[in-house]
Each structure stands twice: as C-alpha cells, then as structure tokens.
Amino acid sequence: MKKSLSIKLITAVCLSTILWSCRKDKGVTPEEQIQLPGQGITAVNGLYVLNEGNWGSNKSSIDYYDYATGVYRRNIYGQANPGATLGLGDVGNDIKIYGSKLYVIVNGSGKLEILDVKTAKKLSQVDISNCRYVTFHKNKAYVTAYDGYVAVIDTASYKIDAKITVGRQPEEMAVVGEKLYVANSGGYSSSNYERTLSVIDLATNKEAKRIDVAINLHRLKADQYGDLYVTSRGNYGDIKSNLYVIDTKTEAVKKKFDIEASNLVIDKDFAYIIST
C-alpha cells in the first residue's frame, strides 16, 4: 500500500530561513569570517546561504558555513570574484547545487549566476529577465521567468535551448518522471490570480495541460511516491494560504490541508511546513 507523508508544522513570528534572508546594510560587504562551533558532520561539507538583500539595494550575497571547522564566511562571492565590483546583484531568490556547480537566481538583476561549487568562482551567467526559481533534470536547468515561460538551459554549454510558455508569473517547479510541473501564480494580477499547475512534457518541451488547484500558487515539492505538495498564497486577505496535494497519476487534487503554509521541504516520509 502506498504510504503518505506526515506533516510537521513550524510556526514563527519572525522568520529567517537558512537559505534566504534580508540585510539592511549598504555598500558591497567584504568577506568576514566568524568562528562558530563545528558540527562534526562528515557526510556534508558545508552549507551555502543566499542573502536576498533589500530590493533595489544591489545587496544580495552568499555566505558559507563549514561544518567541520565551524568557520562561517560572509560574502564569499566578493572574495572569490574580485572583479565583480557590484557584487552578486539585486534580490537573490534561489540557490541550488547540481553536479559540480552552484546555481544562483538573482531576480532583480535578471540573471542566473553559475559558480564553481568548491570555490564560488563565477563560471558563467545566463540573462533571464525576472527569473524566479531553478530546478534540474538530465543535464538541463529549468528556470521560471515572470514573463510567463520556463527557460531550458544546457548545463554544459550554458545556452538556452528553449523557452516553454506556461501560466502568468510562474514560481517553483518539480520533476516527476518525465514531466515538469510548474506553479503558476498570476501574482501581478490580484483581481485575477492564476490557479493552475502547468504540466510540461520533457520529451517535447511543450506544455501538455494545466491542473486546476487554487489561486496564487507558489511553493512546489515532490515526494518519493510521486505526489506533489503545492502552496497557495491566497489573496492576502479573506482567502488564506493553504497546502494541497496533487496525485500525478490522476493529475488532480487529492487532499487539502487547512494549514497556512509559506514554505515547505520534504524528507523521506515527512513534509516540514513553515507557517507564519
């Protein structure tokens, strides 16, 4: 019998995640090293932290925590790339590792930065206006853009192979089998939000259909059984945020949780939900 995930809820008044945070300081921040207790973890070398920075301030930055030594290094991008006088850019929105490379979405600067995962040295840059999130499948990087498409990027050549039309203001993505699911938000139209997931056939790079879910979709994660967990941000008023589960076999909503969910991560049989 197919198992289902358990939900663990994390509620906070003031929220700061380990991958996204904001700063109020001005000017390009030089690298700073802080000694923290080591964790003694051998399976993982360290943790990258993407600091969003205030919108319009060009203050996005990357930090790195070494689990073995306990050294926390602030603004490693500037140290690794001294020629980048303007720093990483404006509004860091997503960061992920794929293979030997670190991929950073810088939304306000309209670019995907590709860095060496060990040194944080810049390898390449792909310009994508209003880019939001990145995910990967079979040596391709998929990047959502608020202009209503998903850019398909070859991870060897760094070239855009295709642009796949989806809904308005797409957000997070998840791959199940040979399909890419995209959460459409319609976030620029508060009176007419999108309410669908786009289903993309990865063999053809074409949108095959859309699944009706709820308004203003945002976070999207797949579990090990092929189900999708997607958050709706509601309308920030009388319609609250919520969490939905999609069965990818029937491509329909199978469950709705009465949980105001702003973010989530899935590990094995547990979904950890952040609610604010």
CATH number of the domain that residue 241 is part of: 2.40.128
How far is CA 76 from its chain centroid? 20
User: Position of tokens 């699911």?
Assistant: 181
Where the chain has pLDDT below 70, the residues are 1-29
What pLDDT, on a 0 to 100 scale, did the predictor assign at position 87? Answer: 92
Please check whether residue 102 lies inside any domain of the structure.
no
Which residues, including other chains, have CB under 8 Å from residue 251's CB and lie 6 or more apart? 199, 209, 211
Number of folded domains that form the chain: 1
Q: Domain range for residue 217?
A: 169-275
What pLDDT, on a 0 to 100 scale, did the predictor assign at position 9? Answer: 52
Please check whether residue 233 lies inside any domain of the structure.
yes
Please check whether residue 241 lies inside any domain of the structure.
yes
Please check whether residue 9 lies inside any domain of the structure.
no
Please check whether residue 106 lies inside any domain of the structure.
no
Please check whether residue 213 lies inside any domain of the structure.
yes
Q: Please write the tens of the pLDDT for every residue from 230-250.
A: 999 999 999 999 999 999 999
Please check whether residue 185 lies inside any domain of the structure.
yes
Q: Please write the tens of the pLDDT for every residue from 86-106.
A: 899 999 999 999 999 999 999
What pLDDT, on a 0 to 100 scale, did the predictor assign at position 14? Answer: 33
Please check whether residue 196 lies inside any domain of the structure.
yes
Distance between CA atoms of residues 31 and 274, nearest Å: 30
